């Protein structure tokens, strides 16, 4: 590790420990949706009114409900119908996740490119999470999708820090090293600050612990397997691991040697899930 990476890492860890790190806040529309979701009496018209104030988010949700993965024989063109088709919980989780894209924007081109890269990878992994969850578990696909979308959320404060630190910005090796080392710790902290469910707040810090073996399958397992599957066919270090030794595969009941892209049905479902999030 370079001296620069060591210095930045030490500064960020100290800021985290002293509660001095400025954590990002959820976009306003996501906050309003979360608030609405906590109302046990919330109905479709009321939720539709909250989401309907954001035209871009409304369009995304209608796109999702008409995607090959979820569509019925009848096209849905209205937000209330879309919420009725998805259900209130599913819509709230999806809206929260999709609204986060607004946060992945920067003032400098270098950081903006990195943020785009992180968001695109997150949507890819979230799409695989959706399919894994639906095909191999009884957990909630909307929660699995949300877990995939937020598992790298800890990268944001690091890139914000880098925008004010030219030395780090111009040294991509050090920047990537700092991101790899620190983002899981910050990710958990952000999700706790946002009052996310405990089973999702654990995802950033635990999804790369490939020896982890919990009592039963959970969202960490799904994000972990989705992450590994997303690198199949590349030269990424994760492809050099012995996936037979990763307990998450056994908990999902998935053959570690299966290439999901080679299975026509799974491949088509993954493509559909990824495209609905982009």
pLDDT on residue 171: 86
CA dihedral 7, 8, 10, 15 (to 10 degrees): 140
Least confident piece of the model among 2-11, 22-31, 104-113, 194-203: 2-11
Domain assignment of residue 139, given as a range: 3-24+105-277
pLDDT digits (tens, 9 = 90+) for 238-250: 999 999 999 999 9
User: Taking 90 as the threshold, does the pLDDT of residue 129 lie above it?
Assistant: yes
CATH of the domain at 236: 1.10.3210.10
As a whole number, mean pLDDT of residues 191-201 equals: 93
CB distance 130 to 85 below 8 Å: no
Tell me, letter by letter, the H, E, C secondary structure of 127-195.
HHHHHHHHHHCCCCHHHHHHHHHHCCCCHHHHHHHHHCCHHHHCCHHHHHHHHHHHHHHHHHHHHHHCC
- Of 3, 17, 24, 41, give the one whose Cα is nearest residue 182: 17
Statement: residue 1 has pLDDT above 70: no
**Furthest CA-CA distance within the chain:** 59
Q: To 5 degrees, how large is the angle CA 267–CA 145–CA 257? A: 40
> Tens digit of pLDDT for each residue in 23-46?
889 999 999 999 998 999 999 999
Does residue 38 fall inside a structural domain?
Answer: no
User: Residue 201's pLDDT is what?
Assistant: 96
Find the mean pLDDT for residues 186-195: 92
pLDDT band per the 50, 70, 90 thresholds, residue 3: confident
Distance of CA 148 to the CA centre of its chain: 3
Distance separating alpha carbons of residues 154 and 177, to the nearest angstrom: 14
pLDDT tens string 63-114:
999 988 777 778 999 999 999 999 999 999 999 999 999 999 888 888 999 9
Q: Would you call 22 exposed, middle or buried from its count of C-beta atoms within 10 A (0-12, 13-18, 19+)? A: exposed
In a domain, 83, yes or no: no
Residue 7: its pLDDT value, please?
83
Question: Is 192 domain-assigned?
Answer: yes
**Distance of alpha carbon 35 from alpha carbon 85, whole angstroms:** 21
pTM score: 0.92
- Is 41 domain-assigned? no
What average pLDDT does the structure give for the chain?
91
In a domain, 55, yes or no: no
Residue 19 lies in a domain: yes
Q: Is residue 67 part of a domain?
A: no
Would you place residue 14 in the very low, low, confident or very high pLDDT band (cuts 50, 70, 90)?
A: confident
Using CA atoms, how far apart are residues 218 and 207, in angstroms rounded to an integer? 11
How many domains would you assign to the chain? 1
pLDDT of 251: 97
* Domain contains 49: no
Using only the alpha carbons of the chain, give its radius of gyration. 19
């Amino acid at each position: 590790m370079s001296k620069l990476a060591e210095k930045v890492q030490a500064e960020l860890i100290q800021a985290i420990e002293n509660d001095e790190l400025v954590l990002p806040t959820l976009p306003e529309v996501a906050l309003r949706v979360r608030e609405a979701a906590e109302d046990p009496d919330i109905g479709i018209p009321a939720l539709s009114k909250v989401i309907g104030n954001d035209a871009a988010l409304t369009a995304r949700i209608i796109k999702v409900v008409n995607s090959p993965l979820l569509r019925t024989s009848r096209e849905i063109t209205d937000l209330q119908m879309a919420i009725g088709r998805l259900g209130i919980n599913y819509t709230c989780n999806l809206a929260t996740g999709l609204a986060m894209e607004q946060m992945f924007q920067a003032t400098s081109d270098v950081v903006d490119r990195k943020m785009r890269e992180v968001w695109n990878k997150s949507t890819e992994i979230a799409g695989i999470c959706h399919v894994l969850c639906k095909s191999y578990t009884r957990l909630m696909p909307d929660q699995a999708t949300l877990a995939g979308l937020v598992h790298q959320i800890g990268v944001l404060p690091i890139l914000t820090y880098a925008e004010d630190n030219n030395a780090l910005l111009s040294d991509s090796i050090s920047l990537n090293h700092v991101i790899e080392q620190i983002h899981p710790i910050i990710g958990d902290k952000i999700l706790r600050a946002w009052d996310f469910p405990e089973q999702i707040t654990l995802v950033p810090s635990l999804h790369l612990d490939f020896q982890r073996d919990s009592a039963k399958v959970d969202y960490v397992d799904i994000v972990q397997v989705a992450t590994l599957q997303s690198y199949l066919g590349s030269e990424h270090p994760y492809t050099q691991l012995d996936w037979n030794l990763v307990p998450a595969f056994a908990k999902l009941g998935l053959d570690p040697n299966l290439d999901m892209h080679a299975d026509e049905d799974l491949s088509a479902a993954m493509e559909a899930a990824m495209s609905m999030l982009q």
